[in-house]
Structure 1
Amino acid sequence: MKNILITGGAGFIGSNLALKLNSLGYSVTVLDHLSEQIHGSNSENSPLYQSVLGKVNFIKGDVTCREDVEKSIQNQDVIIHLAAETGTGQSMYEIEKYSRVNVYGTALILDVLVNQKNAVKKFILASSRAVYGEGKYQKGNFEAVYPESRSVASMQQGKFEMTDENGEILQALATDENSKLHPTSYYGLTKLQQEQMVKLVCKSIGVKYVILRYQNVFGVGQSLLNPYTGILSIFSTQILNAKNLNIFEDGLMTRDFINIEDTVEATIKSLELESANNEIINVGSGIATDVLTIANILVHSYAKNISIDISGDYRV
């Protein structure tokens, strides 16, 4: 399986993956429409785009355009589907856009696979931790529970911990692949829809699939201009502009951060390993790191004299 199509292959994860696959001798085709949010207003000069230019077969196109999808799938052995609108907060007020790109775009790729002669043997989908919603918690020494989002009233009172219906504080657990799926953002909902479509259709046509639920990916080359790439980019931009950091809530909310190099390695293993067929796999470090720790690490690393303010602000 040497011919690989990467949708969204000029993005942060996609470009790193494309270059690594290229170095391993794969023939890589990238389908990407060079979104302004990711590549800036002058997308042709985007560092991410420039990094793959001349090293891959680049098709400037859109996963929501049948002609572009049909063209890009020709002679491909594997599809790695990364193209998507991302950002949990942004998704809640751009619902039509997220549906069109994430849901319809995936449906169109699958429709072409079903109805057009092709050589695709494997489909790898980039999903997200967002399908788990608030994640997995433990109630005392008892069973795992999956709470809904916290109420505005609680956060107004400075109560940021997850609690049960009786107000008892819950203990966060690592969220494994068998955890309950209950997205709390429209983005998470679209990723879950993608997963379900890929599983159903790929099984029906005999194409092997792997679904990778990426955690918080970071690393060299990540945009500092896109506000939806996560707190590492947001904090870095503020620090480099000598602005004090405003830490939301109590700063103790935890995330799993995984380096781009490890993310690429996991994705390639899902391509190459025979055992990675019809699987759903979390891609993370398995280590919980709180936001306040991240802020302190960045301030120290940039060696900037700024303050870290725990404000109690919150996002609904």
Structure 2
Amino acid sequence: MRVLVTGGAGFIGSHTVDALLVEGHDVRVLDALVPPVHPHRRFPRHLLDRGVECIEGDVRDREAWERALVDADAVFHLAAYQDYLPDFSTFFQTNVVSTALLYEILVERGLRPHRVVVASSQAVYGEGRYRCSRCPGAQPVYPRLRKEADLFARRWDLPCEVCGHALTPERTDESVVAPHNAYSLSKYGEESVALTLGERYGIPSVALRYSIVQGSRQSFHNPYSGILRIFAQRVLGGQSPICYEDGGQLRDYVSVHDVVRANLLALHHDNAVGRAVNIGGDRQVSVLDYARLVVKCAGADLEPAAPGLYRFGDTRHVFSRISLAAELGWRPEVPLSEIVEEYLSWAVAQPDFTDGTTAADERMHALGTLRHTT
């Protein structure tokens, strides 16, 4: 097939391109090459050297889509906007409107690709699913955003509204969403557009809700994403990794290589059509334990620090149930230690690998995203 990958010069996109080439597909990339993720505004040499057709263009631009969709048999729409900036409209224009524009052009021109796969996010769940372990017969609950006063007072965990005891997090399946920031709202909007219009107009569509994706080629210059990048930059620079809150937040990390296998499954497996599917690491790891793993893999003699900083709007715990993906034949394969070791080996070989964590924290402080407790 001729496969279009938007955001194909980026992290998940470029790995997906590699896998498509191995399968023998012709690949076309549409990417805006926007800083800070792409500071040099040029396509990676490994794409150009392998004969990938690269188009510089914005997914918010109709003309760019029209050029990119010529003779395309399938589309991976992976281009996205993510940041802590309060430019809310940019999230929706880039993530939602671009998806609507894709389907608008497909319908207008009578195009029926074999598959459209859109990148959604675990973020659509907000805090995810919890249950009180003390209240008899307690039902699952899906808490809303934590209160600022609680975070300021270092009351990190979510209390049961009946008994006040800390709620116990559970694996979150695909059934209930509760987005609570601009990024997660826009991702839920994107997948809703794809699945609804896909069904209505006979365009086979799949939304994949990625957990926290880790691996090589993750930009060093994006202040929003990459706990592994952040910890690696500090540890390899001889500084202790800094954990927000108390470091007890439970997260679900997945290798980019496992995500790429899920992307190809969505391309080929008809039973994925019309569904939003969790793609996660099937693990619950605290931020503090993750920091210690990075220190260990780097061979450093450092202890993670938790100075009481917090990012307002962060979830306390969230990790995905992947039973639906397992039914389709997918499970994660890459151990967390292997993810970290591979990333560290790759990162130190990059000429632009520097510690930008202090500047990123200063930027988030200035925006009011990163805050101090009492």
Is TM-score (shorter-chain normalized) higher than 0.5?
yes
Give the equivalent residue in structure 2 for 1:216: 212
After the TM superposition, which residues 26-105 of structure 1 pair with which residues of structure 2 at under 5 Å, given as runs? Answer: 26-40=25-39, 42-44=40-42, 49-55=44-50, 56-87=52-83, 90=84, 93-105=86-98
Deviations 1:71-90 (A, max 9, x none): 11111111111011024xx1
Answer yes or no: is the 8 Å Cα contact 1:147–1:164 preserved in 2. Answer: no
1:168 Cα offset (Å): 2.2
Deviations 1:96-123 (A, max 9, x none): 2112211221111111111124241321
Question: SS of the counterpart of 1:38?
Answer: coil
Which residues of structure 2 form unaligned runs of 5+?
A: 313-374
Q: Which amino acid letter does the alignment assign opposite residue 104 of structure 1? A: V
Answer yes or no: is the 8 Å Cα contact 2:218–2:226 preserved in 1. Answer: no
Q: With structure 2 as the length reference, what TM-score do the two structures score? A: 0.79
After the TM superposition, which residues 242-261 of structure 1 pair with which residues of structure 2 at under 5 Å, given as runs? Answer: 242-261=238-257
1:34 Cα offset (Å): 0.8
Select the residue among 157, 160, 164 that pairs with 1:161.
157
Answer yes or no: is the 8 Å Cα contact 1:219–1:260 preserved in 2. Answer: yes
Select the residue among 116, 120, 128 that pairs with 1:127.
120
Answer yes or no: is the 8 Å Cα contact 2:112–2:202 preserved in 1. Answer: no
Answer yes or no: is the 8 Å Cα contact 1:6–1:14 preserved in 2. Answer: yes
Give the whole-Å Cα distance in 2 for the aligned partners of 1:50 and 1:38.
Answer: 16
Q: Which amino acid letter does the alignment assign opposite residue 217 of structure 1? A: V
Q: With structure 1 as the length reference, what TM-score do the two structures score? A: 0.93
Deviations 1:209-252 (A, max 9, x none): 11100000001222233222221111111112222222111111
After the TM superposition, which residues 256-275 of structure 1 pair with which residues of structure 2 at under 5 Å, given as runs? Answer: 256-275=252-271
1:292 Cα offset (Å): 0.4
Identity of aligned residues (%): 33
Question: SS of the counterpart of 1:314?
Answer: strand
1:276 Cα offset (Å): 2.0
Question: SS of the counterpart of 1:145?
Answer: coil
Select the residue among 174, 179, 188 that pairs with 1:183.
179
Deviations 1:22-53 (A, max 9, x none): 1110111110011112121x122x6xx22212
Give the whole-Å Cα distance in 2 for the aligned partners of 1:210 and 1:309.
Answer: 40
Asked if residue 301 in structure 1 is aligned to residue 300 in structure 2, the reply is: no
Q: Which amino acid letter does the alignment assign opposite residue 132 of structure 1? A: Y
Report the structure, 1 or 2, having the larger strand content: 1
Give the equivalent residue in structure 2 for 1:107: 100
Answer yes or no: is the 8 Å Cα contact 1:74–1:118 preserved in 2. Answer: no
1:142 Cα offset (Å): 1.7
Give the equivalent residue in structure 2 for 1:118: 111
Which residues of structure 1 form unaligned runs of 5+?
A: none
Give the whole-Å Cα distance in 2 for the aligned partners of 1:310 and 1:36.
Answer: 30
Q: Which amino acid letter does the alignment assign opposite residue 35 of structure 1? A: V
Give the equivalent residue in structure 2 for 1:236: 232
Question: SS of the counterpart of 1:198?
Answer: helix
Asked if residue 171 in structure 1 is aligned to residue 155 in structure 2, the reply is: no
Answer yes or no: is the 8 Å Cα contact 1:246–1:309 preserved in 2. Answer: yes
Comparing 288-297 and 270-279, the one that deviates more: 270-279
Question: SS of the counterpart of 1:275?
Answer: helix
Give the whole-Å Cα distance in 2 for the aligned partners of 1:302 and 1:273.
Answer: 39
Q: Which amino acid letter does the alignment assign opposite residue 6 of structure 2? A: T
Give the whole-Å Cα distance in 1 for the aligned partners of 2:165 and 2:100.
Answer: 42
Answer yes or no: is the 8 Å Cα contact 1:134–1:147 preserved in 2. Answer: yes
Select the residue among 270, 282, 286 that pairs with 1:286.
282
Answer yes or no: is the 8 Å Cα contact 1:8–1:14 preserved in 2. Answer: yes
Give the equivalent residue in structure 2 for 1:10: 9
